[in-house]
Amino acid sequence: MATEVDIDDSFYSRQRYMLGDLAMRQLSKAKVFLSGLGGLGVEIAKNVTLAGVKGLTLHDVKNASVYDLGTQFYLNTENITKIENRAKASFQSISQLNPHVVVDVSTTPFNCESDLSFLLQYQCVVLTESPLELQVVVDQFCRSQDPPIAFISADVFGLFSFLFCDFGESFQVIDGDGEEPEEILLSNVSKDNPAVVKTIYGVRHGLTTGDYVKFREIKGMTALNNRIEQITVISPDEFTICDTTSDQFGSYANGGTCVRVKIPFNVQFEDLSTQFNKPDIAMTDFSKPEVNLQSIIALRALHTFNDGYKRMPRIRDTKDAEQVINIALSIIDSMITKVDKLDVDIVTQLAYTCQGCFQPLVATMGGIVGQEVLIALTNKYAPIKQWLCLETQSLFDGSKDNSMFLPRNDRYDGLRICIGNDICERLSKLRLFMVGCGAIGCEMLKNCALTGIATSVDGLMTITDHDLIEKSNLNRQFLFRESHIQKSKAVCSAEVTRVINPVGPSTETSVHCDSFFKTLHVVVNALDNVEARRYMDGRCVSNQRPLLDSGTTGPKGHVQVILPFETETYSDQRDANDETVIPYCTLKSFPARIEHTIQWARDKFESFMVHKPSTYSKFWSIHGQPNEIIEKLERNQSLQGIVVVAKLLNNRLHTWEDCIRIARIKFEKYFNHKARQLLDAFPLSATLSDGSLFWSSPKRPPAPLQFDVHNETHIAFIESTARLLADVYGLSYNQQLARISIPAIVADTVIPVYTKSNKEIVVDESVKKEEITKVETKIEKYIHDVNLRAMMYGIETVDRLKTKRIAGKIVPAIATTTATVAGLVTAELIKIVSQLPLNGYRNAFINLAIPLVLLSEPGPANKTAINDDISYTSWDRWDVVGDESFTLSQFIQWFKDHYKLTATAVMHGVKIIYMAVMPGHAKKRDQTMKKLLKLQSSVKSVELTVSFEDKYGDSVTTPPIRYSLS
């Protein structure tokens, strides 16, 4: 029997870093009712189950059909043959997603006259594939309860999708954006009305007008400390607060910080029937501002048609479409929101395709609905208010050949109705390379299988990922199960994907060279780091192949469409470096933020507990026995690591008591003597050359800590350090008695007397210490170091969860975001196969915490001008083709003839082939390129670096240059 979720379970680790313990506990107590287990329903069920609710009821009255196979990944032909209910058929697969969630099934029909009291046991109700009249009745029932039951309805009709939320008359949001507030260091607060607050060194505060901040550690104007004030931004490094002119506020002296405080706020919702007449819509595409409202009008007309005719409009039926248009025109007249004109094209497209179902929209909307369920249950993040519409109009084909869109009684009927059989066949023949099989990769593989990508003999999907599956992956990489842990992601994902579509994609192990890229139609990135993305971007650019890049961080995600010669590349937009190296002096002596103390503790841990022991072990494995080492030393042979080894041998510990004594001495060294040395070198009254105090923001003066055997944090440091030392030296100890023995041993420990050090203290921030290479360590082992150092410098301490996230550089992740992003990527993939013009594609940026889904046309390829007549983009490459007799002189002349440029130097890698200013190089001009480049018969082309001058003698930059033998 499932119990309340254990928030320490690694199954939820990435999600917990994003949502926090409180939200995870709320989820573990909540129950959700989900009606409709078609494609959209199963997507929502997957995401909600992975999130970790207490219970999920799957409700459906429909049986599985061939049509479902195009979107419902937990149904198969056997379910159809046996005439199984969709919810019952999906139950086992959904239950296996998360052992903490109780999943049950209901097949009992209900309608507008039914007793809805059975819904009282749930905190959120989600309806899909439901009649509009029933949606209205259920919504009214849910909002009439105290407290209200959150209500969500969502559907996908053809190339259009819709989401509606109603969380009651007043829904409280406790965290409107999910951002981790950063401490802002201050340099001045004026005595004005209003007072102007300025950050240090012009550092950006990142606040917006209306935010609230709390002040700490201000000297002089101490009345501000612990106050919360609302701010008005006046510049990136200044903002105003309250009136500080009264005697209550002293004059600002120095120091101080502030941090943004999240103030809970309420969101008011209206019921569905009201919202249909004056819809409140989240904008998604500012280039088409009227589409969302027009789509909702068309949706309402579609439901009205269905109520009247007891069926949906027939596929590509002009008369039915005209009926829907007439209904839409009458709806406009009755709306409170004024609509100048009906967009007949939108209504027609919805009527023509409504019997179909565009799978990428199903995946996208399933992710967004899943996120709204989480918001409703946890009050964390801002909900959608109240409509969200997504469409892929650009894929609509107005072809007169209706036969291309008619069903053929197979699993692709839903997709065929939307985009036509031609595109379905192109998808089946696609040769796709997907890099990464993690969270986005799993979702993409499922989408690819459902849309029939690479299912014909001509198609091929190649997937690659060097990682193995870990338990923490299971929360968002839904293709994997417990049995897959420590197995290859690439192999397991391919196997599971074939179950979704038995004709599905295969894997291929190959060297991903240029010849491999030339066989591809498109590349999809599902990577989690910038450098790998840039590498793949470079490979696609050099081979002129389309690339779809995507990524997520917590509730945020992006999709970038990269098309040869048409759009900018990934590398054209350099990402901001968020892993800046902390100055060495800051780490060692002048920490100002908790991140500095965490990095210091991590460095200490890895140096003493990881690198030194590994150096010791490696030394003995290389150099053998002690007598061999002595012989080498007598021969004056250099032995790397011998100093570290000698020190470790000299200071070797032999007992558990030794470990405790060393831990106690380290406490004194790190948290007492170090502070005293700093204060001896720089007293509190020390000043700089300009007369300002040395200890002013961002520098914090340390306060020596006095060891207290009754202080829990002090004892925890001794215990954890002693245990680590014991592990390093292979010493045994009784875990139950370990802590009990500490007070007596530390009382008997001789503490070195403090002596003033003459060692120079680095204060120059330009001196930097590169971050130690990441090593997999147990972060809990040095959390006590972090907080003790923070206490010494008066920095606010943080809990274990935040310490682990910062120290491990852990990127928060959640299934809802990855599902949404993967759906958006799949939509753009189908557009590439459809060969749309540039204005038909959409980049995307989402932040489901705000909430924001922003679509925009990809940026055009950046052009670099060589002269008034010639320019190039990142996609361009100058190809020079010659035969066996092609000379260097002909090579140089080629550029004069084509671009009026003079080649002054030619290099192949680091080898100089030709340099005009070098004596004797003129003779090379008569030699063949094959001889100069020493080309073997198997090598057909090489990349060259060529320097040019224009007609004025100025150096110019050009695209990459490739020389090929014909």
For residue 114, count other CB atoms closer than 10 A to its CB: 14
Verify that 918 and 795 share a domain, yes or no. no
Residue 208 lies in a domain: yes
Q: What is the pLDDT of residue 2?
A: 37
Lowest mean pLDDT among 2-16, 214-228, 614-628: 2-16
Average pLDDT for residues 622-646, to the nearest whole number? 74
Better-scored residue on pLDDT, 848 or 501: 848
Residue 740 lies in a domain: yes
Tens-place pLDDT, residues 709-749: 999 999 999 999 999 889 888 898 887 777 888 999 999 99
Q: What is the pLDDT of residue 467?
A: 64
Lowest mean pLDDT among 208-222, 437-451, 784-798, 881-895: 784-798
Verify that 619 and 737 share a domain, yes or no. yes
Verify that 725 and 794 share a domain, yes or no. yes
Better-scored residue on pLDDT, 820 or 473: 820
CATH number at residue 224: 2.40.30.180
How far apart, in whole angstroms, are the C-alpha atoms of residue 790 and residue 803?
A: 12
Lowest mean pLDDT among 82-91, 466-475, 530-539: 466-475
Residue 843 lies in a domain: no
Lowest mean pLDDT among 431-440, 582-591, 630-639: 630-639
The two three-digit tokens of residue 888, written as one number: 């260097």
Domain end: 261, 294, 312, which one? 261
Residue 440 lies in a domain: no
903 CB burial (10 A radius; 0-12, 13-18, 19+): buried
399 band by pLDDT with thresholds 50, 70 and 90: confident
C-beta of residue 381 within 8 angstroms of C-beta of residue 173: yes
651 band by pLDDT with thresholds 50, 70 and 90: confident
Better-scored residue on pLDDT, 613 or 384: 384
Q: What is the DSSP code (8-state) at residue 668?
A: H
Distances (CA, A) of 558 to 228, 248, 473: 35, 49, 20
Residue 579 lies in a domain: no
Single pTM value for the model: 0.84
Verify that 695 and 596 share a domain, yes or no. yes
Verify that 788 and 908 share a domain, yes or no. no
Domain end: 223, 240, 261, which one? 261
Coil, helix or strand at residue 221 = coil
The answer on pLDDT for 508 being more than 50 is no
Verify that 725 and 593 share a domain, yes or no. yes
Residue 9 lies in a domain: no
How far apart, in whole angstroms, are the C-alpha atoms of residue 751 and residue 666?
A: 10
Q: What angle do CA 590, 592, 598 make, to 5 degrees?
A: 90
CATH number at residue 785: 1.10.10.2660
7 band by pLDDT with thresholds 50, 70 and 90: very low
Lowest mean pLDDT among 316-320, 418-422, 908-912: 908-912
CA atoms within 13 A on the CB side of 422: 12
Domain end: 765, 780, 807, which one? 807
Residue 562 lies in a domain: no
Q: What is the pLDDT of residue 800?
A: 77
Q: What is the pLDDT of residue 808?
A: 67
Verify that 800 and 871 share a domain, yes or no. no
In 747-888, DSSP assigns E strands to: 843-847, 852-856, 864-865, 871-872, 878-882
The answer on pLDDT for 510 being more than 70 is no
Verify that 631 and 707 share a domain, yes or no. yes
Q: How far apart are the first and last CA of the chain?
A: 71
Tens-place pLDDT, residues 913-925: 999 999 899 999 9
Q: What is the pLDDT of residue 471?
A: 53
Verify that 782 and 679 share a domain, yes or no. yes
Average pLDDT for residues 386-414, to the nearest whole number? 95
Residue 694 lies in a domain: yes
The answer on pLDDT for 819 being more than 80 is yes
CATH number at residue 870: 3.10.290.60
Q: Would residue 585 show up in a list of annotated catalytic residues for this protein?
A: yes
- Total domain count, the chain: 3
Q: What is the pLDDT of residue 577?
A: 44
The two three-digit tokens of residue 394, written as one number: 């650009």
Verify that 907 and 794 share a domain, yes or no. no
In the chain, the amino acid numbered 319 is K
Residue the block writes with tokens 């829904």: 171
Coil, helix or strand at residue 178 = coil
Verify that 703 and 786 share a domain, yes or no. yes
Q: What is the pLDDT of residue 630?
A: 74
How far apart, in whole angstroms, are the C-alpha atoms of residue 964 and residue 966?
A: 6
Average pLDDT for residues 946-964, to the nearest whole number? 90
C-beta of residue 396 within 8 angstroms of C-beta of residue 349: yes
How far apart, in whole angstroms, are the C-alpha atoms of residue 449 and residue 469?
A: 21
Q: Domain range spanning residue 919?
A: 864-965
Q: What is the pLDDT of residue 598?
A: 87
How far apart, in whole angstroms, are the C-alpha atoms of residue 298 and residue 344?
A: 9
Verify that 618 and 699 share a domain, yes or no. yes
How far apart, in whole angstroms, are the C-alpha atoms of residue 877 and residue 943?
A: 10
Following DSSP, what letter does each residue of 591-659 receive, concatenated? --SHHHHHHHHHHHHHIIIIIHHHHHHHHHHHH-SHHHHHHHHHTT---TTHHHHHHHHHT---SHHHH
